[in-house]
Amino acid sequence: MLLCGITSELAKEDSVLSYFFCQATDARINSATSVLRGLIYMFVDRQASLLQYLQKRYDHASRRPLEDVNA
């Protein structure tokens, strides 16, 4: 809870803050791939123009990026 409060306060500043919270009890959000997915989502949510670059890479990939164990 302390970290949530700190990130809320830092987000009020003019700087850019990116973060991802892992949860030990949920394996779906407790991996490097999950962290990467979360950060990419946060970047695209804040800067919608990045979506076009991500979409190109996703459409041309032979396998879906960020979905296998080697992501």
Alpha carbon separation from 5 to 8, 14, 18 (Å, rounded)? 5, 17, 14
Measured CA to CA in angstroms, residue 70 lies from 19, 58, 65, 66 at distances of 22, 16, 9, 8
Q: Which of 45, 43, 65 is nearest to 56 (CA)?
A: 65
The pLDDT, as a whole number, for residue 55 is 84
33 neighbors 71 (Cβ within 8 angstroms): yes
* Domain layout of the chain by residue ranges: 18-71
According to the model, what pLDDT value does residue 8 have? Answer: 83
**pLDDT score recorded for residue 33:** 81
Per-residue pLDDT of the chain (71 residues; tens, 9 = 90+): 788 888 888 878 776 777 787 777 887 778 888 888 888 888 888 888 988 888 887 777 766 666 655 55
Q: What is the total residue count of the chain? A: 71
